[in-house]
Chain A
Amino acid sequence: MNRILALIERDLRRFRRSPTLIIVSMIMPLVQLVVLGYAFGGKVKHLHIGVVDQDHGLPAIKLKEMFQAVAANARTFETTAYSDEAAALRDLRSGKINGVVSIPPQFSRKVLAGENPRVALSEDNTDQFVASALEGTLNQLFASYNQKEPPPRLSVEAALSVVEIYPYVPYIQYLLPGTIVLAIFVSAMIGGGIIFIDDKARGLHEGYLVTPITKFELILGFNLAGTAKAIISGIVLVIFGSLIAGIPAPLDPLRLARMFLVVVATALALISMMFLLMVRVTDPLVPRATFGVLNTVLFFPSGAVYPIQAFPVWMKVIAAVDPFTYAVHGFKELALKNTGLMAVVPDLGFLLGFTAIAMAVATLLFRRTL
C-alpha cells in the first residue's frame, strides 16, 4: 500500500512541477471549448445575394422590399441589384456573392393571374451551412409573402406548436460535455500506465524494478496516479467550463456531486483503456502518434459534437462500445438537463464495467521486466 502511495506521490509531484502538462491537460480543452463553441454556435449572417429583376412589376417590388427588411433586421443577407443575370452568375461563380435570386419576366402577371409564379435561387452549395441558412431565410420570406391578407379567422391548416422542455441550449453548452471528456482523455494520454513507457524511454524504470515493488503495486500506482490527475482536470473543466459556457446554476452542489461521480468513472475508464492499449508498447512515440487517431475515432462518434442518430451503422457500432459515448451522455444529462442520479446510472455502470474488464486484461498482459 505504501509503495502504491509512493508511486502516486512521485507522479503528482512531477505533475505539479510541469506547468506544460497542467496547461495541456486543463487550459487547452477550455480554449477549445470557447473557440469551437463560438465557431459553430452562431447564426450565419451578412451573406451577399444578387437580385436580378427582369419583371419590374408591383409584386416583384414587394418581394424586393421584403429582402431589404431581412437585410436591415435579421442581417442574414445583403442584396445587390443586377440588371444582367449573366453578370450576377459570373459573380456567384467567382465567389463575390453567395447566391442569385432571379425574378423572371412575367412574374407579376403570373402572380396576379395565379399561374404558378416562380422565382429562381442559384446558390453556392459548396458550403452547406451557408446554403441552408439562405434557403431557410428565403423559404420563411416566401411563406409570409404568400400569406393572404387579411388572414382567415379560422384556419383549416393544422399547425405545430413546439414546447421546449429545457431552456435554450447554445452550441457552446452542447459542446461542454464532450470537452470535459476530452480533458480527461488528454490526462489519460499523459498519465496512467503509459508513464511506464516514458520511464522506460528515460531508463528510469531500472531504478525501481530492482526494488521489492510488485507487479500489482506498479499497476495500481501508475493507474491511480493517472486517475487522480484525470479527475483534477475533469473537475477543473466541470467548474470553469460550466461558468464559461453559461450553464444555469453552475455551482449547484448537488449537481456538482453527481458530475463528480461521472468524472471519476470516466477517468477510471479512459485511464484503463489507455493502459490496456499501451501495456505492451515500449516506444514512447506510439502513444503520441496514436493520440490524433484515437481522438478522432473515440471523440467524434460519441455524440459530443453531432447527434449519434445521424451516423451510419458502423459509426453507431463504435459509439456503442466507446466509453466516450457514455461519459458524454452522462455529462449531457447532468449539465444540460440537471437530471437526478438515476438518469446516469447506466452510464456509470458501463464505464465501471469497462474499467474492470480493461484492467483485468491489461494486468494479464503487463510485464514487470525491462
Chain B
Amino acid sequence: MADIEVENLTKRFGDFVAVDGLTFTVNHGEVFGLLGPNGAGKSTLIRMLTTLVPPTAGTARVDGFDIIKDPDGVRRSIGVIPQAMTSDLDLSAEENMSIFAKFYGLPREKRRDSVRELLKAVDLEPWADKPVKMFSGGMRRRLEIARGLVHEPKMFFLDEPTTGLDPVSRVAVWDMLAKLKSQRDLTILVTTHYMDEADKLCDRIAIIDHGKLVALDSPLKLKASIPGKNILEVSFSDVPSDWENTLRNLPEVADVKSQDHVFRISSHNGPRTTIALMETARNAGANITSLSVQSTTLDDVFVHYTGHQLRDTLKTDTVYSSAFMYEPK
C-alpha cells in the first residue's frame, strides 16, 4: 500500500521550475531518501507534501489525504522536521514539546506521557527543563525529532536532518531515527546530502535534479545501474591529445568522464585497468599526479546522474527577500 502518492507534482516560482512534474509513490513502512544537488527541488517538494507551499500543478496524497483538498488531514497524519531549526530558544525542551502537543490537541495525560517518553528516546531527559538556547545543534535536532513525533504521526518528513551536525551527532541522529522507526509504525521520507547515510538507512532512493526524477531504486540496484564496478580517479600533469579516447580503449573500461586534467574511469575490473593505465601513461609520457581506485558508492551514482558541475544559480525572489532572514539552502 502506498502511503504517499505523488502525481505529476509541479511548482513554479515565476519562470523558474523548482519541481517539474514529479510522479512516484512511497510505500508503507519505507525509509525513502531524496537525494539531489542544492537547488534540485528537494525542499520545495517536501514543503508541498507537508502543505507549506501549494503546488502549481499536479497533486499528491499523503496517508490518503489530498494535499490541496484536505491539508488539515495531511497535517494530522504527518510529523515534520524542517531544514531550519524550529525549536524555540527561550523555552525548555519540555515546554517546546508540550506546546506542540497542544497544537495537535493531545489530552493532558497523554501529553505528559508522550513528552517524557520521547525525550527519553532521544536521550534528552536529563535536560528536559533546560532552555533550548543552551543546547548544541545535535541536541536541538534530536529535540525536534522528538517534537515531530509527539502526536504519533504515521509519516515522518525530515529535510536534511543531519546537515551542519558533527559526525558523532549525525550518527546519533540516525541511530535514534532507526530506533524510533523500529518501535513505531512509521513511514519516513528524508532528504540528505550524505550518501553514506542514505546508502545505509534508506530502503529506496530517489535522485532529483532540476526538479525532475532522474533515478529511483534501492541503493543496491542504483549502484549496479551505473557502468563499472570500480571508479578510477586519475589526474595528469599534462594531457596528450585524444587522451580520453586512449583511456576509453583500456581493458575493462566502461566509461570515461573528464574535467580539465581529471579523469573518472568506470571499470569492470579495477586492478586490470589500473595496471594498463600506468603502462599506457608511461609510454605516452603522461605524468600521473594522483590516482585513486574505489568501489562504486552512492556518490558515484549521484555524480553519474546529476553531473559534476556546481549549481550556482541566483534564487528567484520569493518570500525570502530580506538579507536578514533565514534562507533555506
Contacts and interface: CB of A to CB of B under 8 A. Distances in A.
Interface stretch (B30-38, B72-80, B233-241): B72-80
Contact of B47 (A17, A200, A204, A370): A370
Interface stretch (A171-179, A280-288, A327-335): A280-288
Contacts, number: 101
Nearest to A10: B99
Given A204-B88, A284-B324, A370-B53, A211 B100 contact: yes
Interface stretch (A1-9, A52-60, A145-153, A159-167): A1-9
B88 A14 contact: yes
B185 interface: no
Interface stretch (B102-110, B196-204, B248-256, B260-268): B102-110
A200 B319 CA distance: 10
A201 to B, nearest CB: 5
Interface of B: 47, 50-54, 72, 75-76, 78, 80, 82, 84-88, 90-91, 95, 99-100, 102-105, 131, 144, 147, 319-322, 324-326, 328
A43 interface: no
Given A203-B326, A282-B319, A284-B325, A210 B90 contact: no
B90 A17 contact: yes
Nearest to A15: B90
Contacts of B95: 10, 13
A148 B90 CA distance: 77
Contacts of B104: 211-212
A90 B322 CA distance: 57
Nearest to A212: B75
Contacts of A210: 50-52, 75, 78, 80, 82
B324 A285 contact: yes
B236 to A, nearest CB: 46
Nearest to A200: B325
A103 to B, nearest CB: 67
Contacts of A282: 319-322, 325
B105 A204 contact: no
Contact of A283 (B131, B144, B324): B324
A208 B101 CA distance: 11
Nearest to B150: A211
| Most central of A5, A9, A18, A206 by chain B CB within 10 Å | A206
Contacts of A144: none
A209 B322 CA distance: 21
A283 B323 CA distance: 9
A204 B140 CA distance: 13
A312 to B, nearest CB: 37
Given A10-B99, A282-B319, A284-B324, A206 B90 contact: no
B80 A212 contact: no
A206 B103 contact: no
